[in-house]
């Protein structure tokens, strides 16, 4: 396994090639797995063997007494057979995903996330698929378990360029077939919408047969608003421009952002969608841990 820190592979030239995305996903996933359980061999269709803290209501028979003796804490060891599901990645290809931080756009970061998550899902025996929507051409890769599926998905990821606006919910859903099968759907977006088109899409995307995870991608410069000089902001989807005195606006901006994120989280909770805010400066391994947790809901 390549032992390099994966951050060396997050350069634009790496994220713009199938071989680069493939190498990145292997480095991140292998490092993640070796950190979780160095001594356990995983087969297709098996849940990861891992420990989690005991919670009230858990079956006491599942307690690992050796871990209790070593650590003085109560842990449950999880390792169980599971059924195959379709893991579908839906990617926002609208213009706002072209926002960049330190030379990396949200869309490039989303590519890295999808590459790693889909590699992990395929290793676990799940079918993986991709749908990307924007004002441009739709990208579609139906979920399959074929050995070459991951490379095909990576190839299609590179076709996506941030452009235009997200289509209305009815139009977007027409493009995405639903066979009523059990699915785990990851929707990667920054949740910038002109009206309620993204929220409406997510509401219609959620069904009784699937689990939907909203990965809201945000750059650190958006979250921290740490600009030191007056700047002119441009809406990448409408072209509107606004000059801002960042020192005077910072407190109001951060308060409004916190309120908006809380609104989104509450809205998603009300429809049974799991919302996770993911900063572009966070470790990619956090997303893999998230996959384990969300995937377990379908067992």
Most confident of 42-46, 73-77, 99-103, 132-136: 99-103
C-alpha torsion angle, residues 247, 249, 251, 255 (rounded to 10): -150
* pLDDT tens digits, 67-107: 677 777 777 665 544 567 899 999 999 999 999 988 899 99
pLDDT-derived band at 62 (thresholds 50, 70, 90) equals low
Q: Where are the beta strands (DSSP E) in 134-220?
A: 139-144, 183-189, 210-218
Q: What is the mean pLDDT of the chain?
A: 81
**β-pairing verdict for 127-133 and 86-92:** parallel
**Is 138 in contact with 132 (CB distance < 8 Å)?**
yes
Q: Which of 170-179, 215-224, 278-287 has the lowest mean pLDDT?
A: 170-179
Q: Which positions ≥6 away from 120 have C-beta within 8 Å?
A: 29, 32, 288, 291
- All domains of the chain in start order, with CATH: 6-29+83-296 (3.40.50.410), 48-81 (no CATH)
Determine the angle formed by the axes of helices 106-123 and 149-157, rounding to 10 degrees. 170
Is the pLDDT assigned to residue 239 strictly greater than 70? no
Q: Which of 35-39, 151-155, 177-181, 279-283 has the lowest mean pLDDT?
A: 35-39
Percent of the chain residues topping a pLDDT of 70: 75
What are the helix (H) ranges across the chain?
12-15, 18-36, 65-71, 106-123, 149-157, 169-174, 197-205, 220-224, 246-270, 285-296
Is the pLDDT assigned to residue 152 strictly greater than 70? yes
Is the pLDDT assigned to residue 42 strictly greater than 90? no
Q: Which of 74-78, 106-110, 193-197 has the lowest mean pLDDT?
A: 74-78
What residues are paired with 231 via a beta bridge?
Answer: 244
Distance CA(200)–CA(195), nearest Å, equals 10
**Is 105 in contact with 98 (CB distance < 8 Å)?**
yes
Is the pLDDT assigned to residue 4 strictly greater than 60? no
Distance CA(176)–CA(178), nearest Å, equals 6
Q: Which pLDDT score, from 0 to 100, does residue 214 have?
A: 97
- The better pLDDT of the pair 174, 19 is held by 19
Is the pLDDT assigned to residue 50 strictly greater than 70? no
Q: Which pLDDT score, from 0 to 100, does residue 171 have?
A: 67
Q: Which pLDDT score, from 0 to 100, does residue 3 have?
A: 42
- The better pLDDT of the pair 143, 137 is held by 143
pLDDT-derived band at 109 (thresholds 50, 70, 90) equals very high
Tell me the backbone φ, ψ of residue 16, rounded to 5 degrees.
-105, 20
The tokens describing 108, both together, are 């490039």
pTM, full prediction: 0.79
């Amino acid at each position: 396994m390549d032992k390099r820190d994966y951050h060396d592979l997050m350069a634009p030239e790496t994220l713009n090639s199938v071989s680069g995305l493939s190498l990145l996903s292997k480095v991140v996933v292998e490092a993640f797995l070796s950190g979780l359980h160095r001594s356990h061999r995983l087969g297709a269709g098996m849940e990861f063997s891992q420990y989690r803290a005991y919670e009230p209501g858990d079956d006491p028979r599942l307690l690992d007494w050796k871990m209790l003796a070593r650590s003085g804490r109560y842990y449950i060891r999880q390792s169980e057979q599971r059924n195959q599901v379709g893991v579908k990645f839906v990617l926002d290809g609208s213009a706002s995903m072209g926002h960049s931080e330190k030379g990396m756009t949200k869309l490039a970061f989303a590519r890295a996330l999808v590459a790693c998550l889909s590699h992990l899902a395929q290793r676990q025996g799940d079918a993986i698929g991709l749908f990307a929507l924007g004002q441009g051409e739709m990208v579609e890769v139906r979920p399959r378990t074929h050995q070459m599926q991951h490379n095909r998905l990576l190839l299609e990821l590179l076709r996506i360029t941030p452009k235009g606006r997200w289509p209305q919910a009815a139009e977007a859903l027409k493009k995405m077939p639903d066979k009523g099968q059990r699915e785990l759907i990851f929707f990667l977006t920054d949740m910038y919408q002109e009206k309620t088109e993204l929220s409406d899409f997510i509401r219609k995307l959620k069904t009784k047969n699937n689990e939907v995870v909203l990965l809201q991608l945000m750059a650190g410069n958006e979250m921290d608003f740490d600009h030191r000089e007056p700047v002119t902001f441009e809406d990448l989807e409408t072209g509107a421009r606004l000059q801002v005195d960042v020192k005077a606006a910072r407190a109001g901006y951060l308060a409004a952002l916190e309120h908006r994120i809380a609104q989104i989280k509450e809205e998603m909770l009300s429809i049974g969608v799991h919302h996770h805010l993911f900063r572009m400066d966070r470790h990619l391994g956090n997303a893999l841990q998230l996959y384990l947790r969300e995937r377990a809901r379908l067992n």
